[in-house]
Every structure is written in structure tokens, then in C-alpha cells.
Structure 1
């Protein structure tokens, strides 16, 4: 009887765990399907796989999430409604004192987007700089820190130093056991001996090495955002591909056929204990 009771308890716990995973995924899907999202952004779901990506990183409606450099708010349109009721969403955007006109305009446009719809009323905008000195969220408060296709920008500034500084700030913001989710354009390891630094692509091995140096452990990888059609050797770099088409009409049909870039999807974890 005792063994049977234990089996029932274990079975119940397994069922509860399975239900939570299903419920969280359903909540993410509902956020992806919400009406606030623009048609242009929805059209990119086939390349960015938001449901699978956020599920892989362990995001739930109850999570405290920091998104680094949210840009125009592609993921904000999903994360804000997902986290509005039970979670917390920090959007670590360009610093208020950013020197460039581009950074200032990007931040202003983002704030205007938030002000235009009550679904964004609980988004807390903070600041991020790859040079450091900014608090993206209170120390030890975040369950998940997310960065989508940003690493190459920081790397082009000061190389390894920029990425290490960024990773350390993410580590500080996370709770022990918290997750850093990284999606980035992936350079084939066979191209490490090429002049790739300004191509927009990053070697996965380098990203892992620098994240580990900052105190993270690699907790998993996914090929959900992989694209084997992308050779990562285009004139104009990754921006030759959609949606940017930096080469304009030159070979546009070829780049349309390739689609968006091949991307690494890496899950790192801040160790639960030192």
C-alpha cells in the first residue's frame, strides 16, 4: 500500500509538472497571437520562432525578465502582455545620456510606443551599455535575462572586453540559478580565420567561452533558430539577408530564398551557489 501511495504521489507530481509546462507554452502562444503585435513583426515569426525560443529559455507568465536592447520592441509586443499580470518586465534600452543621435532616437521611439498602448503600462525601462556602469535591473532580481542578436554590436565596439562587461552585468542582475538566454547570428567555426569581426556573425565557441568567463555555465543549446541555407559569407555581412537587404536589389531574390540568418540559441545559467 505504501509503495502504491508513493507511486500515486509521483504520478501526480509528474502530471502537475507536465501541466505547468503546457500551460506556460500556451500562455506564450497566446502572447504571440495577441492583437497588439504588428503584421510586419508577426511575419518574422517563421524565422524567430518566439514560442519555441521563450519556452526553451524557461520564460513563464510569472517570470521576472530583463530584455537587453529591445530596439523597436519586437519581443516587447510579446513579453509585455505575457508578463503584465503576474510577472515583471524590464526593458534595458539605450542610456538616457547616449551620445549618438541614433541611440537617442531609438530610445525616444521606444518610449513613444510604450505610451501609446496600456498593454505596456507595466514595462519598466532601464538602461544598458556594453561599456558598463548601468543597472539593467536590481541585483539578484531576474529569473531570465534575454538578448536577441545584439552580441555582434558590442563585439564590434571593444571585442572580448565588451562582451565580458555585458555578461557580467547580466550575471549581477540574475538570481542564483537564473537563466541567460542568447540568440545570435552564428559564424561557422570553419570561418574563424576570415575577417569576420564586422560581418554581424559571431562564433558560438567564443560566445560560450566569454559567458563562462563571466561566471555562467552552459545549460543547453537549441537549433530552433538554425538556418542551414545561410553560409554567413555575404557581401555586406548578415545585413544582406532579410529583413535589412543592405545590398538593395542586388541578388535580392537569392537572399529572399535564404531567409533570415542562421542563429545560435544558447541557454546559460548562473550557478545556484558560488
Structure 2
């Protein structure tokens, strides 16, 4: 934990040498040091760069935010304290998987995060999620975050997901997708199944009614050849990733 914090502080100092941290980034930096984050979490900070990412997403402390498929809660552990006092965080996941997060959600920094059960299951044979009747049960969310999960759906379920996201967001609401990069027009293979073609993602999300507002190359990694499964030892932790920020028209 100590070594990870030293790396984080060094990275923050390097960033501030170029541009001073914003008040929002200063708050995030304090959250990154909180005890509810494990050493496994903090080791990923330099690669995932939440100081940059959350501000680039357009996250504000008073937003109503849906985190779709939060996984082990790496982002949740930052989002919940950010939104605790002025905003709202909803964790969209199957009910039985949300129950596995009870111990984490009991921590003071996390206890304002709300469970949002959805119909979602994992098809182990296809190595993909499968959606049921997806309904986020709101129409006034400010932001929905889809972090490294878009690749886990087939084309039909991506359309369902994008439509449900459009319906859950208020006019002007933000839809963020971050995922591992795939070379444009590369074929669908087992080796590439956890990578996404950013151009294809843009087309799919725009088809649901969204407008692409901006994209970032912050996580461009020149030594990722875009040809290997992201879990391979030679790639994991150093994958090329894209950030796409869409907005629902007002």
C-alpha cells in the first residue's frame, strides 16, 4: 500500500508540474488514499489514472450516476465517496451479485451507494453477458459509466443496453464507454473477444440517439499490438484503451 501511494503521489506531482490539480482532482486524490481501497486497487492507479479519467468523463460531485456492471468495485470505491454528500451512485448489477458487495457497501465511505438490481446473467459457454428486460428504473440520471464491459455483449444486447441507457439519462446526460482497443475491422476471435473496435462502438451508440462529444487517447499504449487477449501476461495492465464520451441530445 505504501509503495503504491508513493507511486501515486509521484504521478500526481508530475501531473501538477504541468497543470495544477483542480479542486475535484484534489478530492479524488484524497479518496485514493482512503483505507477502504486495497493494495490491489492502488497498484492499478497509475495505469488507470482516475485523476484524469473522472474529470475527463465530466463527473461532478452532485450528479446522479449509474455504474453499470461494477465488477469488483474498483471504480465504485472512488465514485461512492465522491458522490456521497451531494450526489447519488447506483450500482447496476444482478441482485445476487450486488449482495456479494454487502461488506464493501457497509463501509462508511461506501454506505450511500444504492443497489440497482437488473436482469443480467453470464453465459459461460459464450463467455458473454446476456441481458434480460433491461430497465434502469429512472429517466433522470446525469451519467452512466460503462467501464471495460461493453465488449462482453453481442450486437443484439449492445443495442438493448444502449437504448436502455438513452432512456435512463436525462436530456444532456452523459454516457461514458471505456474499453480495450481492437484494430479497426479486425475479425471476431477468441483472442480478441475482450477488445472493441472504437469506430464500431461509435456507430452503435449513435444509432441509439447519442451524440459523440469527445474521445481521449490518454490510454494509448504503443507497445500493445492489439493482437493478444488482454489477460495475457505480456499485455495485461498495459492494454491500449479508448475513452468515448457521448451525450443525450437536449
Scaled to the shorter chain, the TM-score interval is 0.7 to 0.9
State the match for 1:7 in structure 2: none
8 A contact 1:31–1:79 mirrored in 2: no
Please name the residue that 2:240 is paired with: 262
Verify: 1:108 aligned to 2:108, yes or no: no
Separation in 2, partners of 1:72, 1:38: 11
Deviation at 1:68?
Answer: 0.3
Counterpart of 1:37 in structure 2 is 37
- String of CA shifts for 1:11-33, please: whole Å, max 9, x gaps: xxxxxxxxxx9222322232233
> Which stretch shows the higher mean deviation, 205-214 or 193-202?
193-202
The residue that corresponds to 1:249 in the other structure is: none
Give the structure with the larger helix fraction.
Answer: 1
Q: Residue in 2 aligned with 1:10? A: none
Distance 1:83 1:187 in 2: 33
Pair 1:175 & 2:170 matched: yes
CA distance in 2, matches of 1:169, 1:232: 30
Determine whether 1:122 maps to 2:112: yes
Question: What is the 5 A alignment of 1:5-84?
Answer: 22-84=22-84
Q: TM-score, normalised by structure 2?
A: 0.81
1:165 maps to which of 160, 163, 173: 160
The alignment partner of 1:239 has SS state of coil
TM-score after normalising by structure 1: 0.74
Paired position in structure 2 for 1:146: 145
Give the number of the structure whose alpha-carbon radius of gyration is greater. 1
> Which residue of the partner structure matches residue 9 of structure 1?
none
RMSD over aligned CA atoms reads 2.0
- Contact 1:90–1:136, Cα closer than 8 Å, also in 2: no
Displacement after TM superposition at 1:172 (Å): 1.0
Change (3 A) 1:40 1:270: same
Higher-RCO chain (CA-CA 8 Å, sequence separation at least 6): 1
Task: Indicate whether 1:240 and 2:218 are aligned.
Answer: no
Q: Distance in 2 between matches of 1:64 and 1:29?
A: 21
Q: Give the ranges of 4+ consecutive aligned residues of structure 1 lying more than 6 Å apart after TM superposition.
A: none
Cα shift at 1:232? 2.1
**CA, structure 1 residues 209+198, in 2 after alignment: closer, same or farther (shift >3 Å)?**
same
- Alignment check: 8 A CA contact 1:127 1:135 kept: no
**CA pair 63-203 structure 1, distance change in 2 beyond 3 A:** same
Distance 1:137 1:29, change over 3 A: farther
Give me the whole-angstrom Cα distance separating, in 2, the residues matched to 1:131 and 1:62.
30
Unpaired runs of 5+ in structure 2?
1-20, 121-129
Residues 219 and 255 from structure 1, CA distance in 2 versus in 1: closer, same or farther, beyond 3 angstroms?
closer
User: What is the aligned partner in structure 1 of residue 249 from structure 2?
Assistant: 271
Note closer, same or farther for the CA distance 1:133–1:143 as it changes in structure 2 (3 Å cut): same
1:132 deviates by 4.3
Distance 1:149 1:133 in 2: 22
Aligned length: 220
Kindly indicate whether the alpha-carbon contact (under 8 Å) linking 2:182 and 2:192 is maintained by their aligned counterparts in 1.
no
